[in-house]
A and B are shown apart, each in its own frame.
Chain A
Amino acid sequence: MQNDTKPLLSVRNLKTSFFQDEGTTKAVDGASFDVFPGKTLGIVGESGCGKSVTAQSILRIVDQPGRIVEGEIVLTRADGTETDLVKLKADGREIRSIRGGDIGLIFQEPMTSFSPVHTVGAQIIEAVMLHNAVSRKEARRRGIEALRSVGIPKPERRIDEYSFELSGGLRQRAMIAVALSCDPRLLIADEPTTALDVTTQAQILDLLRKIQQERGMAIMLITHNLGVVAEMADDVVVMYLGRVVEEGKVDDIFHDAKHPYTKALLQSIPSIDSTPRVKLPTISGSIPHPFNRPTGCPFHPRCVSFMPGRCDTEEPPLLSVGEGRTVSCFLYQ
């Protein structure tokens, strides 16, 4: 994308499939994108588009029976060396030092991502001690600092509470504190605000922005909410059924969308500044089941610009349509 800076994380032609008795599900089917230091990359898509599996692939935590079939995930480490995460052993020492070290992760559901039988503090202290050679006392001090930095009131007391004693917003803040406790250079946030109310969501998004400014950390924000992406992202990747359909600067995606899917999606969402009770343009049909994946371009059965004989037989490649802009559609070939 940009030539002046080197990407922190570069994903090339990533393919992750799930091998089940019923058949093979191509959850991610050739995704490529870059995450730059200090920037926010938004990955948008609806259910089944492979956005979460992409995140799991980067951290090498894809559940059985899934595995990465092809592709590269190149991470530039703090010392400037490059590591291809795909080549690492999924339970090896190196990936474990990257997980939670170089790359922090926030999940959607703050309730289930904490252990209910350990205090919040125990879980932060564990993460700190795993990645740093420090005493328990020092780890606790850092844990309290981490909780304070995400705006949790009375962190000295909260650190000894269990996750169920915290409200949804505080729990998500605690989750962010765990992810930040080892100073990651990349934070992967998988639907970080989906389970939260709008006013709490605003608090959490504000917090993420503030932390990014302070630490210059890169954020990979995975969400289905186009509003959140518009507010937060610098660059946007739009995914549909495991493929990247379009990529570009946030302003280009929202004001000059190229791919028919992106265009239709933007038109079909109800917006807070639209006129009430006017019918919305809709995308016909629904997202196909992954076993009945359409041939050719995966969006062709729902596409208004469908070209018979072309879109249903060939897979469109990612084409460059301007600086930092790619789109996967035959309309632009």
Chain B
Amino acid sequence: MTSRDAGPGRSVLLDVKGLKKYFPIRRGLLQKTVGHVKAVDDVSFFLNRGETLSLVGESGCGKTTTSRCILRAIAPSAGQVLLSDNGEVVDVATVPKSRLRSLRRQMQMIFQDPFSSLNPRMTLFDIVGEPLLVHGVGSVQERTDRVVELLSLVGLRPEYMRRYPHAFSGGQRQRIGIARALALNPRLVVADEPVSALDVSVQAQILNLLLDLQEKLGLTYLFVAHDLSVVKHISERVAVMYVGRIVETAPTEELFGSPRHPYTEALLSAVPKPNPRLRSERIVLQGEVADPANTPSGCHFHPRCQYAQAVCRERAPVQEEIAPNHFVSCHRATELSLRGVARSTS
């Protein structure tokens, strides 16, 4: 179905196939299941070694649930999460719990809120060193050395090791969270909205740090975000989600420059641009995001889509590769000409 032509020297690290996560809705005395919230509904994508793929979408589209299924923080309802582990391909979705711990060394997470994701009663040494302790890595001295190394790597002074998180600003705390995620030398880092809780003047520092670390350590990022400007800045490829499904996946410039799915077009046009001379006619979507417990028939986006036809109501579109590495799920993908974001010349 898909071409894996990712360029020379690149191989697939993570391959997600048909991932589903349904949460049961229970009602009444006997807690009978009356329906399902289809948070993730048949999601497929792959991630090459050393690249950054962003999952974007609005709240409730299932991007966080997808990332949690990949780490098996929650068990998926169906589908495969294939991680290549030293030449061997393992399905994280079904692997026995005993194997999971060693797999988790390879997959770490950076969280959104740097205030609630750090234990206020633990020092920086305890926080950053905890993954090492949990996985039984090294002696006390070796762990201390590693924490020193990690703190300098993320731009914090190692002397701060004995301090508590409250002494640090939001940006510095996010650096602590990044150091903790890197402690076990992971290959895949899942960053769930890592800059959205930070002040705008600090966001750029953290984004630059993530780019630096990727270059230095050869990390692979799955970046989950709602802010398209941030996504444009950090990613090589972008996957757009809408109500539990991926509607479009493409290389960053291509997705922003010439989107092929009407939802991507609307999303791009909704972003306010920091340039008063570009006050353009926006596409303002009518209505609301569909309820994942009661999804529309056919294409989930059809009730809000200005290009919708009868077929969109009847059949769900199948993902097609319409250009190299450009996947779209839309019945009219090849006939529509949609508006992207013009490159600024100033």
Output the least CB separation between A296 and chain B (Å).
Answer: 19
Count of A-B contacts with CB under 8 A? 161
A47 lies within 8 A of chain B by Cβ: yes
One of B64-72, B102-110, B282-290 contacting the partner: B282-290
CB distance from B178 to the nearest CB of A (A): 16
Contact (Cβ within 8 A) B275 A254: yes
* CA gap between A275 and B342 in the complex, in Å: 11
In the complex the two chains form, is B274's CB within 8 Å of A226's CB?
A: yes
Tell me whether A251 is interfacial, beta carbon within 8 Å. yes
Interface contact A276-B252, CB-CB below 8 Å: yes
Query: Once the chains bind, are B272 and A270 in contact (CB under 8 Å)?
Result: no
Question: How far is A230 from B226 in the complex, measured between Cα atoms in Å?
Answer: 20
- A281 interface residue per 8 A CB criterion: yes
Contact with A along B227-254 (1 / 0, CB 8 A): 1111011111000000000000000110
**Residue of B with least CB distance to A249:** B276
Residues of chain A contacted by B234 (CB below 8 angstroms): 276-277
For A126, the chain B residues whose CB sits under 8 A away are none
Number of B residues near A (Cβ < 8 Å) is 54
Q: Which residues from chain A contact B207 at a C-beta distance below 8 Å? A: 270, 280
In the bound complex, do residue B229 and residue A270 qualify as a contact, i.e. CB atoms below 8 Å apart?
A: yes
Q: A131-173 CB contact bits vs B (8 Å, 1 = yes)?
A: 0000000000000000000000000000000000001011000
**B201 adjacent to A231 (CB under 8 Å):** no
Establish whether residues B200 and A268, one from each chain, have CB atoms under 8 Å apart when the complex forms: yes
Chain A nearest CB from B224 CB (Å) reads 14
- A206 and B284 contacting across the interface, CB-CB below 8 Å: yes
Contact yes or no, A269 B203, CB < 8 A: yes
In the bound assembly, the distance between CA atoms of A278 and B270 in angstroms comes to 24
B274 touches A224 (CB 8 A): no
In Å, the complex CA distance between A307 and B229 comes to 34
A84 touches B (CB below 8 Å): no
Of chain A, the residue at the smallest CB distance from B344 is A273
A273 B273 Cβ-Cβ under 8 A: yes
Would A269 and B229 count as touching, CB distance under 8 A?
yes
Asked if B204 contacts A268 (CB within 8 A), the reply is yes
Asked whether A273 lies within 8 Å of B342 as measured between CB atoms, the reply is: yes
The answer, yes or no, to whether B184 is at the interface (CB within 8 Å) is no
The reply to whether B288 and A272 contact each other, CB–CB distance below 8 Å, is: no
Q: How far is the CA of A281 from the CA of B233 in the complex (A)?
A: 13
Taking a contact as CB atoms under 8 Å apart, the answer to whether B199 and A199 are in contact is no
Within 8 A of A (CB), among B144-202: 169-172, 199-202
Q: Is residue A279 within 8 Å, beta carbon to beta carbon, of the partner chain?
A: yes
Residue pair B285, A250 in contact (C-beta under 8 Å) = no
**Binding stretch for chain B, among A31-39, A72-80, A282-290, A319-327:** A282-290
Q: Please give, as numbers and ranges, the residues of chain A lying within 8 Å of B236 by CB-CB distance.
A: 276-277
B272–A273 CB distance below 8 A: no
Q: For window 191-225 of chain B, which residues contact chain A by CB distance below 8 Å? A: 199-205, 207-208, 211
Q: Which residues of A contact B346 (CB under 8 A)?
A: 255
Cβ of A202 under 8 Å from chain B? yes
- Are A277 and B211 in contact, CB atoms less than 8 angstroms apart? yes
Question: How many angstroms from the CA of A232 to the CA of B256 in the assembled complex?
Answer: 23
Question: Contact: B204 with A282, CB < 8 Å?
Answer: yes
Closest to A236 in B: B276
A254 to B171 alpha-carbon distance, docked (Å)? 26
**A283→B282 contact, CB < 8 A:** no
The residues of A with any CB-CB pair to B shorter than 8 Å are 46-47, 167, 169-170, 197-203, 205-206, 224-233, 250-251, 254-255, 264-266, 268-283, 286-287
Q: B-side interface residues toward A, CB under 8 Å?
A: 52, 58-59, 169-172, 199-205, 207-208, 211, 226-230, 232-236, 252-253, 256, 266-279, 282, 284-285, 288-289, 341-344, 346
Q: Given known contacts A199-B270, A270-B233, A272-B256, what 18 new A-B pairs fall within 8 Å (CB)?
A: A197-B226, A202-B272, A202-B285, A205-B272, A233-B276, A254-B276, A255-B346, A266-B274, A273-B341, A274-B232, A274-B233, A276-B252, A277-B211, A280-B208, A283-B201, A286-B170, A286-B172, A286-B201
